[in-house]
Structure 1
Amino acid sequence: MRSQDIMQGPEWANVRALYKAGGFTDAELKKPLIGVVNAFNDICPGHVVLKDMTKRVKEGIYAAGGTPLEFGTIGACDGIAMAHDGMKYILPGREDIANDIETMVQAHRLDGLVLLGSCDKIVPGMLLGALRVNIPSVFVNGGPALPGRMKQNNPYGGEYIDHSIIQQSEGALKSGKITQKEFDWLENNAVPTIGSCAMLGTANTMCCLAEAMGMALPGTAAIPAVYSQRMQAAFNSGYAVVDLVKKDIKPRDVVNRKTIENAIRVNSAIGGSTNAVLHMLAIAYEARVDFTIDDFGKTALEAPHLVAMIPAGAYTLLDFYEAGGVPAVMKEMQSVLYLDNVTCTGKTLKENLEHFENRNRDVIHAIDNPVHKWGGIAILHGNLAPEGAVTKPSAIPAEAHKFTGKAVIFENEQDALDGIRALKVHEGDVVVIRNAGPRGGPGMPEQYKAMKLLVGMNLGSKVCVITDGRFSGSNNGCFVGHITPEAYDDGPIKYLRNGDEISIDVDKGIIEAKVDFEARRKEGASMPDNKVEGYLYHYRRNVASSSLGAIIKTRD
């Protein structure tokens, strides 16, 4: 075991003494030392449950013959950081978490890891860290919140609602479609419990994909935060990691090209977040797998949309869990998956799936009876995005899959929000929000609120929003993000002008502008003054394009 390299003999007595100062015994120090990475805090509702879960993880580790060693990392809430400068720090936080894990594991020669997180960038940050240090690891999430219930006038068409309806309803309030009293009711009832947001946003998407890759125990991703099974999952995850240490099964044994492709197909099947593109490309990088944005696009087309969860349908993670969750959808799509890869159970995916079934085909469709024949994510190219752009067909109304309109330019998110609230955007417009990429933002802030305001104004399919920034997993309507190169890197989006004609064809994978960009480059274009300092200064100088996963390189 790695830990024993600095634990045996008189020359390492100082290390033993320091552990003993914390109350550890000789017997405990001879066992596998398992890092328990806890992203608990009081701010993020998706992480409140992690304090109690960590206790159960430690008990599982002890029961299996290991010694748990807890340490913390950050866990910022996208929802609270939304639509202000705080959102610039959310994606950079992913790299912070990976660095925290690397630092603690390597400084203390730990033997294994259990990673506890729930929300958007925390989950991929933990997976990146585990892949980088490559010691036996199990990820366990805190679980989704229970949804709110609203049977009348439900915009999603079912009986459940979630946090994202609040932002959407601001547009409805602004346009007079609902009253202040109705809006206040939504604020107080849309999120009735702790947990990650109840719809299929980035948080729950990445928890599902961690399970699909084999980094989390089967059937654990969708267990609600407030259910007793969540604590059982914590115990079992702690127990499982000790077995992985004994068998020497490491993250890069689990995560390879086959499992990455499996996860991308599952993302299409469940209608997962566009942010999965960033995170899966980054995961591929840390897994030492050569995988491009176009590989993602090709793989995403290989599975149809099987589960219509909010924002792409009426169902929530609660419905998905009750129907069987990730194993049930993977069992329905076995014909397009690799089944022979090892998972964190020590067994293959095929062996794991034998114990599960689809309990509700209204929620999880059979692969020969999909919700949509197209997949959940599409990669677009064209003269406006020569290095690629990302959209989500499963969340775009069919009538808006092909859209042509005139550009209405906003230089940043706040200008766009002000313009939309001032009713300066009209049916048929293409809203352009630029200077929002990984370097231009910096931090690639989500343009979530602008899209939600438009949906609330009943313009979601009548206006298209395009940006070099990104969107939330909860967005729906007509939108295209991750346009590369970004404006900061002299991409074509920098040279768009008000009134330019822009065409998007989601099904053909095209985004074009009727613009001679070479001529525009010769004429030049001004850039807004957007100086930064602190961490964002370093992030801007080092981060790669979103078409490369917005990674910060960690090796030559």
Structure 2
Amino acid sequence: MDSEKPPFRRSHAWFGRQDRDGFVHRSWLKNQGYPHDLLDGRPIIGICNTWSELTPCNGHFRELAEFVKRGVYEAGGFPLEFPVMSLGETQLRPTAMLFRNLASMDVEESIRGNPIDGVVLLMGCDKTTPSLMMGAASCDLPTIGLSGGPMLNGKFRGKDVGSGTGVWQMSEMVRAGEMTMEEFSSCESDMHRSSGTCMTMGTASTMASMVEALGMAFPENAAIPAADTRRKRLAQLTGRRIVEMVKQDIKMSQILTRQAFENAIRTNAAIGGSTNAVIHLLAIAGRIGVDLKLEDFDKLGSEVNNILNLQPSGKYLMEDFCYAGGLPAVMREILPLLHADAMTVNGKTISENVANAPCYNRDVIKTVAEPFMPAAGIAVVRGNLAPNGAVIKPSAASKHLLHHRGPAVVFESIEDFHARIDDPDLDIDENSVMVLKNCGPRGYPGMAEVGNMPLPPKVLKKGITDMVRISDARMSGTAYGTTVLHTSPEAAAGGPLAVVQNGDMIELNVPERKLHLEISDEELARRMAAWQAPEKPKRGWYKLYVETVQQAHLGADLDFLVGGSGAGVPRDSH
């Protein structure tokens, strides 16, 4: 069993011993050329690296880690870099979200099982940020998050194009006959032209912003481009500071308070951040012991004005956001809505960090008085179709569809959708409500980003660009549309979504937070009684995941991972 309380400098349990086991721990580490004085009791800093050639967003992390090490050495610490499972959103199937919790277990056990006193988390692509935060929170050591930064703006035919957002837009132009495949393909080498994550306010940039808003990263962490040398300087400063945090014994739980999460929720609303922030913040809060609920996002964020004119909701990209002042400028603008005295990893409060933050471009970063979009935070809708709630991002939706009633066109799976959506005989028009089932945590499994279903060509060719879409899936933070997501309980768990039929009338009323399937309670009960659960996976990670994953409104963590185990020193290995 782990000890109840870790020593102040837990690495001493490895390197401070004058016995056989101490010899083993020190001697084998010296085969890398480290001199003995690096094991003299100074803070051992783990650098948790998600570098992988299969994760393009994190492809520059080996170099970034060297700058963190430089800072650690300067401050009198000893850095030791270690790899963890990397989750590349663009390559990993069936969805990176399926492996978020698995990666968090890798992080947690790598930290706890090794001689580490403090940790720097190198985070970038979408799920790498929450997985590292979740795993580290379960250990609760001194920790700083360092994001890899966004790519430079995409450029295509003289115009800026946003990663993800531009792909969705151009692919719909192809489907509508407004762009050829040759034209579409010619953009491939122009959209992603530097290291880094999506340069829209997608999930990666949203979560980098959340880490900064939570106080777990240095100011400006979210927006400095990956290719900008200021990112390297930030890495070096992070390396210096983590050593001081170990000496001061400042743990994650002292930063990740209820107030910190409330700051993050309000900041997410102000930047028009991804709906994925909901599910990730819920999971992180669960690991650190903060009671955060789905309704908190509506209560705290839904009336906050969106003051950031960034794709997918607006015009600009992350590089522009950086030059306009970055997240500190946004947080200064909404400071009266924040817990200004919340502490951050640099030893200063939120107020001290942002009170004098300048804004250099008011077309990018608006004011609360004259926002980009009023009251545009994430809304939570409920009703007999989503008893535990579902989410929608009004800033990415069409205003005229926020209250809509129409007949359901049902797709039983993503394969069913792909097989039928282009059929000219499909009975669908712009008034229909597209319903996608079996794409939630259990059903897909892993809750893939397929909720922003492409519209049928017969509708696109009429000039229609949006329809109401409902699913138990997620959508990419770079996506847009009047899309109801995270419907809970999901279809595969026996939620009402499972028994929606073609032609059923559905009402979405976002102002009243309502999502209603217009059938009687008796008819709903009759359908549910006849419903049959899908077959579950029989082995491996898929089996463990499906049997233990929570529903979306709880954060979709594994039920046995909620809460932490601390950083007690494990039993001897020899």
* Offset, 1:350: 1.3
Aligned to 2:26: 16
Q: Contact 2:151–2:196 (CA<8 Å) still a contact in 1?
A: yes
* Offset, 1:19: 2.1
Residue pairs, 1:52-71, within 5 angstroms: 52-71=63-82
Residue pairs, 1:168-207, within 5 angstroms: 168-207=169-208
Q: Which of 421, 440, 445 is matched with 2:448 structurally?
A: 445
Aligned to 1:400: 401
1:233 aligns with 2:241: no
Residue pairs, 1:389-428, within 5 angstroms: 389-423=390-424, 424=426, 425-428=428-431
SS of 2:11's partner is helix
Tell me the distance in 2 between the aligned counterparts of 1:189 and 1:538. 41
Tell me the distance in 1 between the aligned counterparts of 2:463 and 2:198. 24
Residue pairs, 1:72-83, within 5 angstroms: 72-81=83-92
Aligned to 1:475: 479
Aligned to 2:506: 502
Q: Which of 513, 516, 522 is matched with 1:512 structurally?
A: 516
* Offset, 1:354: 3.8
Tell me the distance in 1 between the aligned counterparts of 2:17 and 2:186. 65
* Offset, 1:527: 5.0
Tell me the distance in 2 between the aligned counterparts of 1:485 and 1:261. 25
Q: Which of 471, 481, 490 is matched with 1:486 structurally?
A: 490
Once the two structures are superposed, what CA deviation does each residue of 1:249-281 show, in whole Å capped at 9, x if it has no partner?
Answer: 111100111010000100000000001110011
Q: Which of 122, 127, 131 is matched with 1:121 structurally?
A: 127
Aligned to 2:567: none
Q: Contact 1:420–1:450 (CA<8 Å) still a contact in 2?
A: no
Once the two structures are superposed, what CA deviation does each residue of 1:77-102 show, in whole Å capped at 9, x if it has no partner?
Answer: 22334xxxx134x1132212221121
Q: Between the two proteins, what is the percent identity of the paired residues?
A: 35
Q: Contact 1:264–1:299 (CA<8 Å) still a contact in 2?
A: yes
Residues 460, 469 of structure 1: alpha-carbon distance in 2 compared, 3 angstrom cutoff: farther
AA in 2 matched with 1:376:
G
AA in 2 matched with 1:135:
L
1:346 aligns with 2:347: yes
Q: Which of 516, 522, 526 is matched with 1:522 structurally?
A: 526
Say how many residue pairs are matched. 546
1:26 aligns with 2:30: no
Q: Contact 2:303–2:374 (CA<8 Å) still a contact in 1?
A: no
Tell me the distance in 2 between the aligned counterparts of 1:70 and 1:148. 32
Tell me the distance in 2 between the aligned counterparts of 1:79 and 1:386. 32
* Offset, 1:318: 1.0
Tell me the distance in 2 between the aligned counterparts of 1:465 and 1:505. 13
* Offset, 1:372: 1.5
Tell me the distance in 2 between the aligned counterparts of 1:462 and 1:334. 34
Aligned to 1:164: 165
Residues 319, 369 of structure 1: alpha-carbon distance in 2 compared, 3 angstrom cutoff: same
Residues 257, 458 of structure 1: alpha-carbon distance in 2 compared, 3 angstrom cutoff: farther
- CA-based RMSD of the aligned residues comes to 2.0
Tell me the distance in 1 between the aligned counterparts of 2:75 and 2:419. 56
Q: Contact 1:302–1:336 (CA<8 Å) still a contact in 2?
A: no
Deviates more, 1:444-453 or 1:249-258: 444-453
1:42 aligns with 2:20: no
AA in 2 matched with 1:441:
Y
Aligned to 2:62: 51
AA in 2 matched with 1:545:
Q
SS of 1:370's partner is coil
Tell me the distance in 1 between the aligned counterparts of 2:106 and 2:377. 32
Q: Which of 125, 130, 136 is matched with 2:142 structurally?
A: 136
* Offset, 1:161: 3.1
Residues 527, 213 of structure 1: alpha-carbon distance in 2 compared, 3 angstrom cutoff: same
- TM-score, normalised to structure 2, is 0.91
Aligned to 2:361: 360
Q: Contact 2:455–2:466 (CA<8 Å) still a contact in 1?
A: no
Q: Contact 2:172–2:454 (CA<8 Å) still a contact in 1?
A: no
Aligned to 1:109: 115
SS of 2:320's partner is helix
Q: Contact 1:138–1:241 (CA<8 Å) still a contact in 2?
A: yes
Q: Contact 1:461–1:478 (CA<8 Å) still a contact in 2?
A: no
Q: Contact 1:468–1:486 (CA<8 Å) still a contact in 2?
A: yes
Name stretches of at least 5 consecutive residues in structure 1 with no aligned partner: none
* Offset, 1:51: 1.2
AA in 2 matched with 1:102:
E
AA in 2 matched with 1:437:
G
AA in 2 matched with 1:180:
M
SS of 1:503's partner is strand
Tell me the distance in 1 between the aligned counterparts of 2:456 and 2:204. 22
Once the two structures are superposed, what CA deviation does each residue of 1:3-44 show, in whole Å capped at 9, x if it has no partner?
Answer: 112322323232222222333222111210000001001122
Q: Contact 1:223–1:229 (CA<8 Å) still a contact in 2?
A: yes
Aligned to 2:549: 543
Q: Contact 2:536–2:546 (CA<8 Å) still a contact in 1?
A: no
Residues 78, 140 of structure 1: alpha-carbon distance in 2 compared, 3 angstrom cutoff: same
* Offset, 1:457: 6.1
Tell me the distance in 1 between the aligned counterparts of 2:259 and 2:460. 40
Aligned to 1:271: 272
* Offset, 1:449: 5.9
* Offset, 1:452: 7.3
Aligned to 1:147: 153
Residues 381, 244 of structure 1: alpha-carbon distance in 2 compared, 3 angstrom cutoff: same
Residues 307, 452 of structure 1: alpha-carbon distance in 2 compared, 3 angstrom cutoff: farther
Residues 286, 538 of structure 1: alpha-carbon distance in 2 compared, 3 angstrom cutoff: same
AA in 1 matched with 2:119:
L
1:307 aligns with 2:314: no
AA in 2 matched with 1:171:
E
* Offset, 1:163: 3.5
Tell me the distance in 2 between the aligned counterparts of 1:513 and 1:442. 25
Deviates more, 1:452-461 or 1:18-27: 452-461
Once the two structures are superposed, what CA deviation does each residue of 1:320-376 show, in whole Å capped at 9, x if it has no partner?
Answer: 111111111000001100011111101111111145211211111111111121133
SS of 2:45's partner is strand
Q: Contact 2:134–2:287 (CA<8 Å) still a contact in 1?
A: yes
Tell me the distance in 2 between the aligned counterparts of 1:103 and 1:220. 26
Once the two structures are superposed, what CA deviation does each residue of 1:458-488 show, in whole Å capped at 9, x if it has no partner?
Answer: 7775421100111111111111011011111
Residues 230, 484 of structure 1: alpha-carbon distance in 2 compared, 3 angstrom cutoff: same
Residues 201, 532 of structure 1: alpha-carbon distance in 2 compared, 3 angstrom cutoff: farther
Aligned to 2:94: 87
Deviates more, 1:296-305 or 1:457-466: 457-466
